[in-house]
Amino acid sequence: MYKYAFLSKSLSAVRSPLAGLLRFESISTKIKLRNYSFPARTLTQTLCLHTNTQNLSSYHPTQSQQREMKYVLVTGGVVSGLGKGVTASSIGVVLKACGLRVTSIKIDPYLNTDAGTMSPFEHGEVFVLDDGGEVDLDLGNYERFLDVTLTKDNNITTGKIFQSVIEKERRGDYLGKTVQVVPHITDAIKDWIESVSAIPVDGKDGPADVCVIELGGTVGDIESMPFIEALRQLSFSVGQDNFCLVHVSLIPVLGVVGEQKTKPTQHSVRELRALGLTPHLLACRSAQPLLENTKEKLSQFCHVPAANILNIHDVPNIWHVPLLLRNQNAHDAILKQLNLLSIAMPPALQDWTMMAETYDNLTNSVRIAMVGKYVGLTDSYLSVVKALLHACIACSLKPSIDWIAASDLEEDSAESTPEAHAAAWETLKNASCILIPGGFGDRGVRGMILASKYARENNIPYLGICLGMQIAVIEFARSVLGLERADSNEFDTNTPDPVVIFMPEGSRTHMGSTMRLGSRRTLFQTPDCITAKLYGNTQYVEERHRHRYEVNPEVIEVLEEKGLKFVGKDETGKRMEILELPTHPFYVGVQFHPEFKSRPRRPSALFLGFILAATGKLEAHLKSHQNGV
């Protein structure tokens, strides 16, 4: 379209006034040079650096500049909690099964910089990444479904965007301009998306083929407006062949009428279109499959082809969702919109199908007592639940999780709520294994100590994660060492026997990103411990951390003399990472969070060992593992 001769003639205009530069940029969003296609701003930057045609002719775009990123945006309407995260993850699974490389971005419109300071009751669990990012739990879904390793920048929040814009304003980067939502905030959002989508997350070189973006909240929320506008601008700038919008909405059924109602989705799509975005596909959530007349009505009033109206109805487990999308040819609609049909393959989901059907056909189960603080909201321990699921399926079992509020086990509750107290203890005693997950604050701690004591004294398999490990140390110090007031500084700052202390490098004034976070290496102190055998590595293991308290190094010697062994330490040898009780069938505490790296086809080694111990199969597994079977 534009020849090299034209570019040569234009160099004189570019070297001089700003008007020449602006005119050059306004020619087109893309300019072809020697059969290479790349953004005009990249060319402009190059022309500013080179002042002669010889230097310009030596410019060779990189592979990432030759390839255009394809974006799939997933939005939600009507109500929150429809499963946009699972839908976005499932779209990624299907596209990946078509032979494409996929990355993901989650947009959270809240003002928090990250999820680290948010209560699990408010927003579910805080998922931790390798780089220490404290992010939304949906990024956990992405990592588990797509088997990728994301970065903290894959989670965009309003707080992050505003912070970056304000920092630029303070530095004077805007050259005296009035800083506004449009264009400065929206430009920052677009730049963030475009730069993060180019970061490889699957261990391969170069950017992915498709970036799946999930916009949190519902369309019409005030806090989402800057993101909606930025995404509208992005869809326009990248072109129709590089942008596909999937809108997730609810199709309710009124109990009295019994009819599938499309009006909420109609209003949601109308709101979306009024904001400048038009959905290419509708993903309709419902209890039962959509009727044909419902699809026709949606197609007519929402201006979406009937073939592009997908039904994500309730299924036995979420692993069926990618199969639902595949069966409705969602991949064909998305690939057609993104102009990728020529390079994509038919989706290969045989392993995924086998995994989903295997779970459906399992009949035997194992009872797991989960003793925690936030049992009122199961999303608070989502990754732990998923890790238990992965381990149970590997053992051909279904997990039967008994949720126990730790406070119900305490002696005080025997008087205040005797029925709940009795039920909690009966549930605990009927479980095959006991797990105490992470948490913060002193609520329910006494109940957790009683649960760990019961597991230790009755040879019940026990797994303590983060706080659960510290609870095991406190209980052992009190019961075995006779230190009745042994405690953590987190719960009692005046305890005479602080067996758990605040980390020296931690901050007592700032909460966000001040913990020990991210992937860290733990060195095994002996190759003969259960944990090393389960991991199959006698040297070290790398897992993700999130804590600000640690076992007091000064009490390690006396604890080990009484039988509690710290078989894993950090690289300094001063920070305790793994404890075991050799006289117990399975009594393990870890300072890290193994649940964050568990995958459907690769369950966490510790969770697998925990379930095997609960079913009496651990010893046989370790022997076969040792023999290479």
CB distance 336 to 308 below 8 Å: no
pLDDT cut 90: percent of the chain above it: 74
Lowest mean pLDDT among 390-394, 589-593, 620-624: 620-624
Kindly write down the DSSP assignment for every residue of 146-212, as one continuous string: HT----GGGEEEHHHHHHHHHHHHHHTTTTTPPP-IIIIIHHHHHHHHHHHHTS--SSSSS--SEEE
Task: Give pLDDT, residue 626.
Answer: 67
Q: Are residues 193 and 267 in the same domain?
A: yes
Task: Give pLDDT, residue 197.
Answer: 95
62 — pLDDT class (breaks 50, 70, 90): very low
Beta-sheet pairing, 587-590 with 576-580: antiparallel
Task: Give pLDDT, residue 627.
Answer: 59
Average pLDDT score over residue span 588-611: 96
182 — pLDDT class (breaks 50, 70, 90): very high
Task: Give pLDDT, residue 59.
Answer: 34
- For residue 25, is pLDDT > 90? no
**Between 430 and 63, where is the model more confident?**
430
Q: Are residues 246 and 99 in the same domain?
A: yes
Q: 338-368: per-residue pLDDT in tens? A: 999 999 999 999 999 999 999 999 999 999 9
Q: 545-586: per-residue pLDDT in tens? A: 999 999 999 999 999 999 999 999 999 998 999 999 999 999
Q: Are residues 296 and 445 in the same domain?
A: no
Q: Are residues 390 and 469 in the same domain?
A: yes
Task: Give pLDDT, residue 320.
Answer: 94
466 labelled catalytic: yes
- For residue 609, is pLDDT > 90? yes
Task: Give pLDDT, residue 377.
Answer: 79
| CATH number of the domain encompassing residue 270 | 3.40.50.300
Catalytic residue among 143, 229, 490, 595: 595
Residue 26 belongs to some domain of the structure: no
60 — pLDDT class (breaks 50, 70, 90): very low
Task: Give pLDDT, residue 161.
Answer: 96
506 — pLDDT class (breaks 50, 70, 90): low
Q: Are residues 214 and 253 in the same domain?
A: yes
Q: Are residues 180 and 226 in the same domain?
A: yes
595 labelled catalytic: yes
Of 349, 382, 403, which residue is a domain's last? Answer: 349
Residue 124 belongs to some domain of the structure: no
Mean pLDDT of the chain: 86
Task: Give pLDDT, residue 624.
Answer: 81
**Between 243 and 175, where is the model more confident?**
243
184 — pLDDT class (breaks 50, 70, 90): very high
Residue 128 belongs to some domain of the structure: no
512 — pLDDT class (breaks 50, 70, 90): low
- For residue 378, is pLDDT > 70? yes
Cα–Cα nearest to 491, from 417, 441, 448: 441
Position 590: which residue type? V
12 — pLDDT class (breaks 50, 70, 90): very low
Q: Are residues 585 and 541 in the same domain?
A: yes
Give the tokens for residue 139. 């990024």
Q: 379-393: per-residue pLDDT in tens? A: 889 999 999 999 999
| CATH number of the domain encompassing residue 545 | 3.40.50.880
Task: Give pLDDT, residue 47.
Answer: 32
**Between 63 and 615, where is the model more confident?**
615
Task: Give pLDDT, residue 513.
Answer: 61
- For residue 24, is pLDDT > 80? no
Residue 121 belongs to some domain of the structure: no
Q: What is the dihedral of CA 529, 531, 537, 539, to 10 degrees?
A: -60
Within 8 A by CB and 6+ apart from 594, the residues are: 387, 465, 543, 604, 605, 606, 607
- For residue 104, is pLDDT > 50? yes
**Number of domains composing the chain:** 2
Residue 64 belongs to some domain of the structure: no
Q: 224-282: per-residue pLDDT in tens? A: 999 999 999 999 999 999 999 999 999 999 877 788 999 999 999 999 999 999 999 99
Task: Give pLDDT, residue 245.
Answer: 97
Q: Are residues 515 and 383 in the same domain?
A: yes
Task: Give pLDDT, residue 612.
Answer: 96
* Cβ atoms within 10 Å, residue 100: 20
- For residue 90, is pLDDT > 80? yes
Average pLDDT score over residue span 77-92: 91
Q: Are residues 331 and 403 in the same domain?
A: no
Q: Are residues 345 and 372 in the same domain?
A: no
SS3 417: coil
Position of tokens 């595949």?
326
Task: Give pLDDT, residue 214.
Answer: 96
Of 324, 349, 374, which residue is a domain's last? Answer: 349
Q: Are residues 82 and 189 in the same domain?
A: yes
476 — pLDDT class (breaks 50, 70, 90): very high
Catalytic residue among 98, 244, 466, 529: 466
426 labelled catalytic: no
Give the tokens for residue 283. 């993903």
Of 320, 349, 378, which residue is a domain's last? Answer: 349
Q: How far is CA 37 from CA 40, 52, 57, 177, 340, in A?
A: 9, 21, 14, 32, 18
Residue 286 belongs to some domain of the structure: yes
CB distance 307 to 329 below 8 Å: yes
Residue 379 belongs to some domain of the structure: yes
CB distance 476 to 562 below 8 Å: yes
Q: Are residues 370 and 343 in the same domain?
A: no
- For residue 140, is pLDDT > 60? yes
Average pLDDT score over residue span 106-123: 86
309 — pLDDT class (breaks 50, 70, 90): very high
Residue 257 belongs to some domain of the structure: yes
- For residue 42, is pLDDT > 60? no
Which residue range(s) make up the domain with 397?
365-626
Any bridge partners for residue 483, and if so which? none
Q: 397-408: per-residue pLDDT in tens? A: 999 999 999 999
CB distance 229 to 275 below 8 Å: yes
Catalytic residue among 123, 247, 390, 593: 593
Interaxial angle between packed helices 382-394 and 350-361, expressed in degrees from 0 to 180 and rounded to the nearest 10: 90
Lowest mean pLDDT among 18-32, 68-82, 206-220, 505-519: 18-32
Average pLDDT score over residue span 42-67: 38
